[in-house]
Structure 1
Amino acid sequence: MKVRPPGLRIAVLTIASLAFAFAFLAPELARLPRTPGGDGRFMLHQIEIAKASLRAGELPLWNPFDCRGIPQWEHPEGIAASPLLLLFYPLSSPTTLYLWELVYVAWGFASMWLWLRDDVSVTRPAALLGACLWAGSPALTMQIVGAHATFHGFYLFPLMLLWWRKAERDHAAAIKLGLLGAFLLFEGASYPLPMCLAALLVESLIRGARARGRLRAVGRMLRAGVVAGVVAAGVGAARLLPLAHQLTTFERRLADDDPLAATTVADMFLDPRAGGHKVFLQTFGWHEYGAYLGPVCLGLALAGLALSLERRRVWIALLGLVVLVAMLGDFAPYAPWHVLKLAPPFSALRVSSRFRLVLMTPACALVAIAIDEVPRRLGRLLPPTRRILRAASLAFGAFGVATALAFASHLVGARFWQAPPARVSPSPVFYYGGAGLTPEYIDQPRQNRAWLGCRNNGWRGNAHTAVWEGDVPQARVGRGQAIVTRVTRSLGSFDLEVRAESAARVVLDSGYERGWRTNVGEIVGDGPDRGAGGGRLLAVDVPAGTHALRVTYRPLYFSLGAAISAASVAALLAVVASRARRRRRT
């Protein structure tokens, strides 16, 4: 058997993955610089906010552009910490979104190919069709492309599965899995990470139950989990610690999830609807349920399910069935979704049907298994027809995959229908409202102005905070005898001079959050607290005297997390360098 150099495999796979991604996202590229609507617009707003912070020479820690001021770095669904956003910083927001999606679609293709070849052990043609079906999946496309960009992490679940299954006996795989987890933390994967980790736990239970030496197998998995967890938590600490504080100190108020009706489950895989309209008997729009496979791919997946019930691949079928039940939602007290919702972070998540994005991984594997196994099994009965059956199976599978891809490609093109970002003149100073504010909220960060609206979707906000509008001083005396002068403001800081005859309170034009800090006096919230909607203005209680006041925002535990992240990266680099030196000596 001819062994190909690993570098050649990586190069060929990279070229193939990028070629698929370019072809699949061609409708989006053709519509640039047009913009998406719905959740995609919210994502563009997030991108513009991060770019505005970087243009101002600041880390994207505070978001003054939405909900009258909210945390940005530690926002559970925020993308300000994304390494890819930093990489694409000089580009426009539509181009950034396109390239971001291009990277993940290509990475998703490579991820599924590697898992199908190295773990599931299907042939190259079957792996190619499975990778195309995964990276161009209508389920992922409907939920993510031009929509909810923080769900991009779902594309990498096959890679997580591959590395996790290798990690039991390979510490390098555990470290790679930990680094991937840290990367996704910075990418804002508040849904992909918990849901994918829950699926990995299910796979671990299946593997442990089927292992011959169960205690030894469980011990190896626990050791791998500790290694991956320490790496992920250490490298990702700069994001993880502020995020954990945000999740543990704020209870997200969510309506009860709706269990999926039987008609909805049937329609999910067979009904090629593209709209975001309300679904009968369900709470949300169709974009939260659609997972079109078409009759051909669904039939192949069911055939693959039956054919995988032998010892080597039965775990794929079992994993798919458990994830399917979790997707059904809170249909009973013993339902997986009901149990998951009892503990964080699932207590702050909603829409159980998003588990369908995990379900597509075993579904694509079952399709690939069927493409390989159906002609192989039938060929045993009719040996002379083996090649014909093989060709027919590939053609049948290719037709089914092409049908699903055609629908997904239509979704891509239909998403980008709104006008390009408007040309705006940046204001020399930031302020809320006022004459001349551009009406489109995605353009406001480039204008250095902000609306009084809130697109925050249920997380902590300051929607009820009485900020003041117009190009006026951004600080004023709240109480006491004092004079405020020389007020300047950036997106995440205030500088001013205060001359106070006695103890006084200075109120700033921003919502309050505990991460604000001052060099003089004490940060307080001014006004009544109205829970999730905020209500308190940012204020500083200063003592008598003349003060040069500097007020800045830094998330709680951010400095500690950044130090841990830096130390973890340094330690990993030292380990890599040490191993490289040892290899050179030998």
Structure 2
Amino acid sequence: MRRRDWGVVRRWAHRVARRDGIIASLLLALAVLIFYWPITLAGHWMPSGGGDLVSFLWPTYRFAARSLRQGVIPLWNPYLYSGVPFVADNQAGLFYPVNLALFLLLGDPSYRMMEALVMAHVWWAGLGFYRLARPEGGRWGALVGAVAFAFSDLFIVHFGNLNLVAVAAWLPWLFLGLRRALPWGRPWRERISAALSSGLVLGLATLAGHAQMSLYLALAAGLYALYMAGERLRHRDGREALAVLALLAATGLVGAGVAAVALLPTLEMLTFTGRAALPYEEAARYALPWPALTGFLAPGLFGRGPARFWGPWDRVETGYLGVLPLLLALWGAMPDWRPGRRRPSPFLTSLPTGFLLLLLSLALLLGLGPHTPVHRWAYDLLPGFRSVRAPARLVLLADFALALLAVRGLGRLLSPLSRRERRRLTSWLIGAGGLGVVGLLLLARTYQAVVAARPETRTPDHLMGAWWAGMTFALLWGAGMELLILRRQGLLSPRRLGPIALILTFTDLTILGSAVDVEVNDPTVGFQHPAVVAFLRQDPALFRIEGDAGAWQPDAALVHGLY
């Protein structure tokens, strides 16, 4: 084919990819609007009680917006105690470009606008995942993975932590660049450009204002680089291994440089706070207990959401991303023996299965906190782990790995199945059926063990909830098995399998997760006291405000400008 003909083909491929990306972004936007129907259709609020979104982030953002529109960079917050550095507050998110656009263009954000920002970042997480997974899973495989990741448990539990969601949403975009930078064989200019763009993404994520999630993004990136360097050392290519580490260093330097305007004041302020070095007992709080791992199978076994959770441990995220994606991930983790797939190409269009399994294992071991020695090792040896707690949030990385493995599994099912592949799938389906039975027995045994240890939790409501959770898991696992069996028998074409898998995954996540953290009353009512505000403004003396948090929000002075 002549060069001119190649140019025509390339332009056609770019047009198709652009149109495909637009369609996917619209489908994901529709999915977000439907998933958050309590807000978009019913007119309710999220999360229940408002959480940090109403008590901390909304007042913080309103203060920042008001200051910037007055031409003042808010270096200082005079409305908290005797005043505190505002820019040095890691969670202020003052220099995050999305926040800056909001503050400067739209004025004081309403609470509805804060909810919209959370939903927009969930959409951004899904879109980034789609872009990352599209080369391997095709349109439908990437959409299933994007839905599973964007509506996984961390994003549901932390709707009220806008800054946490914002940082987490950049994880797929970070790996979109790293996937082009770290694998060997690409032109150096392309690899360097990808490494620098990855650094830009890491810096932007850090500016969103949640140090713990930025630490976890950096941890995942570092693990990927070490894995790729190890692969080159295994092939006795030490020069390329050093190049991988150098590209990672470039990513880190660019990220630190982009975020320096917020990072440097935060690091200086850190030395004056208790976060400088938390005791290990505090750093290990809000970890995953062993029974909570059943949440990957049935999130409602011990109740879900602040109103229904009854487990005898702190409520934490448990990593649920749907039953079908979990089933597909098991298939995706199997070795791929299709023709041309036996040897990994140096031009990797996907993340290696070995790395994804390593990331999944490490995230779970760290997320278990004091229940394994791994978290203590990280606390002692890795920078940053002494200043953060709630290791259960590492399920973000576990879900990321599982969702990518699910994409890989579905992508293989959407491809033509050879006779050998059908035989392997038959054997695997028998094993998967057995795993489903084991999973159901594990749910029952875990419930029995918990209520035996805490007899006061043995109530009819809890028993009924656990029974429904187990039956839901069995139904969804059976439905997923049926899809795979039909595909194995040739009774379900790839053209139909993809949409059905997407609908089943989205229905599963929406029914079980969309309404677990809903508030029917306006969360901002604790700020709505015009008579009290008017009285305080008429008092020229300095005073301290003490109040009941249920009636008067602690950060109300920040909203109304009272001190």
Normalised TM-score (structure 1): 0.67
What is the match of residue 422 of structure 1?
A: 528
What is the match of residue 92 of structure 1?
A: 109
- 1:148-227 equivalence runs, <5 A: 148-168=162-182, 169=188, 170-211=191-232, 212-227=235-250
Equivalent position to 1:408, from 499, 513, 516: 513
Instruction: Report the RMSD for the aligned CA atoms in angstroms.
Output: 3.4
Contact 2:317–2:393 (CA under 8 A) maintained in structure 1: yes
What is the match of residue 3 of structure 1?
A: 13
**Residue 330 (1) aligns with residue 341 (2):** no
What is the match of residue 22 of structure 1?
A: 33
Q: In the aligned structure 1, how far is the partner of 2:335 from the partner of 2:384?
A: 36
What is the match of residue 446 of structure 1?
A: 559
What is the match of residue 151 of structure 2?
A: 136
Q: Which amino acid aligns with 2:263?
A: L
Equivalent position to 2:403, from 364, 375, 382: 364
Q: In the aligned structure 2, how far is the partner of 1:215 from the partner of 1:377?
A: 39
**Residue 62 (1) aligns with residue 86 (2):** no
Q: How far apart are 1:105 and its partner, in Å?
A: 1.6
Runs of 5+ in structure 2 lacking a partner? Answer: 1-8, 183-187, 345-351, 423-486
**3-state DSSP class of the match of 1:271?**
coil
Contact 1:379–1:386 (CA under 8 A) maintained in structure 2: no
Equivalent position to 1:320, from 360, 363, 372: 360
What is the match of residue 419 of structure 2?
A: 380
Relative distance call for 1:434 and 1:191 in structure 2 (3 A) is: closer
Contact 2:25–2:127 (CA under 8 A) maintained in structure 1: yes
Contact 2:53–2:160 (CA under 8 A) maintained in structure 1: yes
Q: In the aligned structure 2, how far is the partner of 1:307 from the partner of 1:27?
A: 42
- 1:480-499 equivalence runs, <5 A: none
Relative distance call for 1:264 and 1:247 in structure 2 (3 A) is: same
Of 165-174 and 13-22, more deviation after overlay is shown by 13-22
Contact 2:174–2:198 (CA under 8 A) maintained in structure 1: yes
Contact 1:327–1:354 (CA under 8 A) maintained in structure 2: yes
Q: Which amino acid aligns with 1:157?
A: L
Q: How far apart are 1:226 and its partner, in Å?
A: 3.0
What is the match of residue 347 of structure 2?
A: none
What is the match of residue 569 of structure 1?
A: none
Aligned residues: 443
Q: In the aligned structure 1, how far is the partner of 2:161 from the partner of 2:156?
A: 9
Q: How far apart are 1:336 and its partner, in Å?
A: 4.5
Q: How far apart are 1:419 and its partner, in Å?
A: 4.8
Contact 1:45–1:441 (CA under 8 A) maintained in structure 2: no
Q: Which amino acid aligns with 2:500?
A: A
**Residue 243 (1) aligns with residue 283 (2):** no
Q: How far apart are 1:418 and its partner, in Å?
A: 2.8
**Residue 74 (1) aligns with residue 61 (2):** no
Tell me the alpha carbon deviations over residues 163-201 of structure 1, each in whole angstroms, 9 at most, x when there is no partner.
Answer: 112123522211211111221222113122111111111
Q: Which amino acid aligns with 2:212?
A: Y
Relative distance call for 1:214 and 1:347 in structure 2 (3 A) is: farther
Q: Which amino acid aligns with 2:332?
A: G
What is the match of residue 293 of structure 1?
A: 321
**3-state DSSP class of the match of 2:198?**
helix
Q: In the aligned structure 2, how far is the partner of 1:289 from the partner of 1:196?
A: 17
What is the match of residue 254 of structure 2?
A: 231
Tell me the alpha carbon deviations over residues 510-554 of structure 1, each in whole angstroms, 9 at most, x when there is no partner.
Answer: xxxxxxxxxxxxxxxxxxxxxxxxxxxxxxxxxxxxxxxxxxxxx
Contact 2:292–2:318 (CA under 8 A) maintained in structure 1: no
What is the match of residue 339 of structure 1?
A: 378
Higher RCO structure, 1 or 2 (CA under 8 Å, sep 6+): 2
Contact 1:199–1:323 (CA under 8 A) maintained in structure 2: no
Q: Which amino acid aligns with 2:243?
A: R
Of 106-115 and 364-373, more deviation after overlay is shown by 364-373
Q: Which amino acid aligns with 2:163?
A: A
Contact 2:163–2:210 (CA under 8 A) maintained in structure 1: no
Of 109-118 and 268-277, more deviation after overlay is shown by 268-277
Q: How far apart are 1:236 and its partner, in Å?
A: 2.2
Equivalent position to 2:306, from 263, 268, 276: 276
What is the aligned-residue identity percentage? 19
Tell me the alpha carbon deviations over residues 393-412 of structure 1, each in whole angstroms, 9 at most, x when there is no partner.
Answer: 75255313420133232236
Contact 1:74–1:246 (CA under 8 A) maintained in structure 2: yes
Q: In the aligned structure 1, how far is the partner of 2:541 from the partner of 2:156?
A: 36
Relative distance call for 1:199 and 1:336 in structure 2 (3 A) is: farther
Contact 2:289–2:371 (CA under 8 A) maintained in structure 1: no
Of 324-333 and 409-418, more deviation after overlay is shown by 409-418
Relative distance call for 1:67 and 1:343 in structure 2 (3 A) is: farther
**Residue 348 (1) aligns with residue 387 (2):** yes
Q: In the aligned structure 2, how far is the partner of 1:76 from the partner of 1:65?
A: 17
Contact 1:270–1:293 (CA under 8 A) maintained in structure 2: no
Contact 1:178–1:227 (CA under 8 A) maintained in structure 2: yes
Contact 1:171–1:224 (CA under 8 A) maintained in structure 2: yes
Contact 1:182–1:235 (CA under 8 A) maintained in structure 2: yes
Q: How far apart are 1:348 and its partner, in Å?
A: 0.5
Relative distance call for 1:250 and 1:412 in structure 2 (3 A) is: closer
Contact 1:85–1:96 (CA under 8 A) maintained in structure 2: no
Of 178-187 and 228-237, more deviation after overlay is shown by 228-237
Q: How far apart are 1:269 and its partner, in Å?
A: 4.1
Q: In the aligned structure 2, how far is the partner of 1:205 from the partner of 1:393?
A: 34
Tell me the alpha carbon deviations over residues 323-355 of structure 1, each in whole angstroms, 9 at most, x when there is no partner.
Answer: 22222223344x145324544322100011110
Greater gyration radius: 1
**Residue 107 (1) aligns with residue 124 (2):** yes
Tell me the alpha carbon deviations over residues 38-72 of structure 1, each in whole angstroms, 9 at most, x when there is no partner.
Answer: 22222223223323433554212222333442222
Q: Which amino acid aligns with 2:116?
A: L
Q: How far apart are 1:139 and its partner, in Å?
A: 2.6
Q: Which amino acid aligns with 1:239?
A: A
Q: In the aligned structure 2, how far is the partner of 1:7 from the partner of 1:155?
A: 21
Relative distance call for 1:230 and 1:194 in structure 2 (3 A) is: same
Q: Which amino acid aligns with 1:327?
A: G
Q: In the aligned structure 1, how far is the partner of 2:399 from the partner of 2:515?
A: 19
Contact 1:161–1:200 (CA under 8 A) maintained in structure 2: yes
Contact 1:269–1:290 (CA under 8 A) maintained in structure 2: no
Q: How far apart are 1:8 and its partner, in Å?
A: 4.5
Contact 1:138–1:407 (CA under 8 A) maintained in structure 2: no
Q: Which amino acid aligns with 1:3?
A: A
What is the match of residue 117 of structure 1?
A: 134
Relative distance call for 1:73 and 1:372 in structure 2 (3 A) is: same
In proportion to residue count, which structure has more strand?
Answer: 1
Q: How far apart are 1:153 and its partner, in Å?
A: 1.0
Q: In the aligned structure 2, how far is the partner of 1:279 from the partner of 1:326?
A: 24
**3-state DSSP class of the match of 1:449?**
coil
In proportion to residue count, which structure has more helix?
Answer: 2
**3-state DSSP class of the match of 1:388?**
coil
